[in-house]
Structure 1
């Protein structure tokens, strides 16, 4: 287990509506107890400074809250990407490693110094799956499990991330980007 930690879940056209339609989820954890991730392509209309004054300069543009998923949507978590995989002075205070250079940042502490991170996002809620649930959904064709690129988690153009990730895949998957957002428009 844990093989999918640090990878992307990309919604297939089988997920037609709801929060997961055309979503890209970064998997923070995946083991025998289930899976946990955040939707990285759903910016909200709320600026980070409205809920976390003092954090705006640490957050990657766009400096908006992101809808991380339907679980605990009234809570927030920060996900950062270390600028250096092995910083000489150690990780920033409040850092919890998750996958490679990606980790959680404690929102109750001070914002990390900008030189520590390549980027940071604040998510309202998260996506969670019970043991075996995600594996079943992947087997049913709802999700693709793909390798991401370094900038996917902190993309400056999150609204186009689903199309960007699908377009760079080999074979016929790229044709999905030509499907209308609403399948009934086809």
Structure 2
């Protein structure tokens, strides 16, 4: 009796069907494949490359924050400058002329004069030192009084608009008032005398 090997049944080759309109043209990946694609090692193999990428990312974030401080874009500003209350405090401070912002440049000029003039004329040294003390302490006293008035004004305006005054907002405004207007960050968004937004 002779046995012949039976041939396996032939299956017809799958015909490529045209993709349905709106389909992605490939099968959806399994969950296992998707998780494997997302999986990253906890410790990167190339540490130098990872440090370089981190530095680039941090540098980009700093540049964006600096640009936001210049343009007034609150979404990208550092956290200490964000929020409607802080924006309002900045506007209240920027809308008025603050004594401290004018006093510090004037005090610097007086100090330079007090250092240079005695070298030119020795007889004026005692007079200059006495005048310098009067100008400096008088200016500081006026700055303190102006800061006290600003503090009261900020508290009243914040309570009127937002209710309870958050801790640190008044100090934020006073520190801004001490800075020279053109060097303030975030940049002033309103002019002197203009009503806060």
- Provide the TM-score with structure 1 as the length reference: 0.25
| Higher gyration radius (CA) | 2
Choose between structure 1 and 2: higher helix proportion.
2
- Provide the TM-score with structure 2 as the length reference: 0.24
Which protein, 1 or 2, shows the higher relative CO under an 8 Å CA cutoff with sep ≥ 6?
A: 2
